[in-house]
Amino acid sequence: MDFLLKFERSKLEEIKRILLADDMVSRGSLIFKDSIGLGFKEDVYYCYISATEEICKKAKELVGKITKFVEGKEKQEVIEKIKKEEETAAEGFGAIFG
Protein backbone atom coordinates (compact mmCIF):
# COMPACT_ATOMS: atom_id res chain seq x y z
CA MET A 1 0.00 0.00 0.00
CA ASP A 2 1.24 3.49 -0.83
CA PHE A 3 0.18 6.86 0.44
CA LEU A 4 1.48 10.37 0.44
CA LEU A 5 1.43 12.99 3.18
CA LYS A 6 1.94 16.72 2.72
CA PHE A 7 2.84 19.14 5.48
CA GLU A 8 4.44 22.47 6.28
CA ARG A 9 8.22 22.66 6.31
CA SER A 10 8.13 23.68 9.99
CA LYS A 11 6.57 20.31 10.93
CA LEU A 12 9.24 18.13 9.31
CA GLU A 13 11.20 17.25 12.45
CA GLU A 14 8.04 16.64 14.50
CA ILE A 15 6.57 14.30 11.89
CA LYS A 16 9.86 12.43 11.42
CA ARG A 17 10.19 12.02 15.17
CA ILE A 18 6.63 10.70 15.55
CA LEU A 19 6.78 8.26 12.62
CA LEU A 20 10.31 6.97 13.17
CA ALA A 21 9.78 6.52 16.92
CA ASP A 22 6.99 4.02 16.32
CA ASP A 23 8.34 0.45 16.07
CA MET A 24 5.74 -0.65 13.54
CA VAL A 25 5.78 2.43 11.28
CA SER A 26 9.57 2.67 11.21
CA ARG A 27 9.68 -0.77 9.52
CA GLY A 28 7.93 0.64 6.45
CA SER A 29 9.57 2.55 3.64
CA LEU A 30 9.34 6.26 4.50
CA ILE A 31 10.81 8.83 2.12
CA PHE A 32 10.77 12.52 3.05
CA LYS A 33 11.17 14.98 0.18
CA ASP A 34 11.25 18.75 -0.19
CA SER A 35 8.67 19.83 -2.79
CA ILE A 36 10.97 22.51 -4.23
CA GLY A 37 13.68 19.89 -4.80
CA LEU A 38 11.15 17.82 -6.73
CA GLY A 39 10.35 20.77 -9.01
CA PHE A 40 7.09 21.96 -7.46
CA LYS A 41 6.34 25.60 -6.62
CA GLU A 42 4.54 25.04 -3.32
CA ASP A 43 7.01 25.12 -0.40
CA VAL A 44 6.04 22.02 1.59
CA TYR A 45 7.40 18.60 2.47
CA TYR A 46 6.08 15.23 1.37
CA CYS A 47 6.35 11.89 3.10
CA TYR A 48 5.87 8.93 0.77
CA ILE A 49 5.03 5.76 2.66
CA SER A 50 5.09 2.35 1.05
CA ALA A 51 4.23 -0.40 3.52
CA THR A 52 1.64 -2.94 4.59
CA GLU A 53 -1.90 -1.78 5.14
CA GLU A 54 -1.44 -2.17 8.91
CA ILE A 55 1.64 0.09 8.95
CA CYS A 56 -0.05 2.71 6.75
CA LYS A 57 -3.09 2.72 9.02
CA LYS A 58 -0.87 3.25 12.08
CA ALA A 59 1.01 6.11 10.37
CA LYS A 60 -2.31 7.79 9.54
CA GLU A 61 -3.39 7.48 13.18
CA LEU A 62 -0.13 9.04 14.38
CA VAL A 63 0.09 12.08 12.09
CA GLY A 64 -3.27 12.32 10.34
CA LYS A 65 -4.30 15.43 12.25
CA ILE A 66 -1.14 17.40 11.45
CA THR A 67 -0.69 16.40 7.79
CA LYS A 68 -2.78 16.35 4.63
CA PHE A 69 -3.32 13.20 2.60
CA VAL A 70 -2.51 13.76 -1.05
CA GLU A 71 -4.71 12.10 -3.65
CA GLY A 72 -5.34 12.18 -7.38
CA LYS A 73 -3.10 13.83 -9.94
CA GLU A 74 -0.83 15.50 -7.37
CA LYS A 75 -0.21 12.16 -5.61
CA GLN A 76 0.62 10.46 -8.90
CA GLU A 77 3.01 13.24 -10.01
CA VAL A 78 4.84 13.40 -6.67
CA ILE A 79 5.27 9.64 -6.31
CA GLU A 80 6.45 9.39 -9.92
CA LYS A 81 9.13 12.06 -9.29
CA ILE A 82 10.23 10.43 -6.03
CA LYS A 83 10.56 7.00 -7.67
CA LYS A 84 12.47 8.46 -10.62
CA GLU A 85 14.85 10.25 -8.25
CA GLU A 86 15.39 7.04 -6.25
CA GLU A 87 16.07 5.04 -9.44
CA THR A 88 18.57 7.63 -10.66
CA ALA A 89 20.36 7.54 -7.31
CA ALA A 90 20.47 3.72 -7.37
CA GLU A 91 21.88 3.74 -10.90
CA GLY A 92 24.60 6.16 -9.85
CA PHE A 93 25.42 4.05 -6.82
CA GLY A 94 25.58 0.94 -9.01
CA ALA A 95 27.98 2.66 -11.40
CA ILE A 96 30.33 3.41 -8.52
CA PHE A 97 30.45 -0.20 -7.33
CA GLY A 98 29.41 -1.87 -10.62
1-36 per-position pLDDT tens digit: 999 999 999 999 999 999 999 999 999 999 999 999
* pTM for the whole structure: 0.87
- Can you give the pLDDT at residue 88? 78
Q: 2-97: what fold? A: Alpha-Beta Plaits (3.30.70)
pLDDT of residue 93 exceeding 70, the answer is no
Mean pLDDT of the 66-81 span:
96
Chain centroid offset of residue 58 CA: 15
Query: Which of the four pLDDT bands, split at 50, 70 and 90, describes residue 94?
Result: low
Instruction: Show me where the domains of the chain are located.
Output: 2-97
The Cα–Cα gap between 88 and 73 comes to 23
Q: At what angle do helices 12-21 and 53-63 cross, to 10 degrees?
A: 140
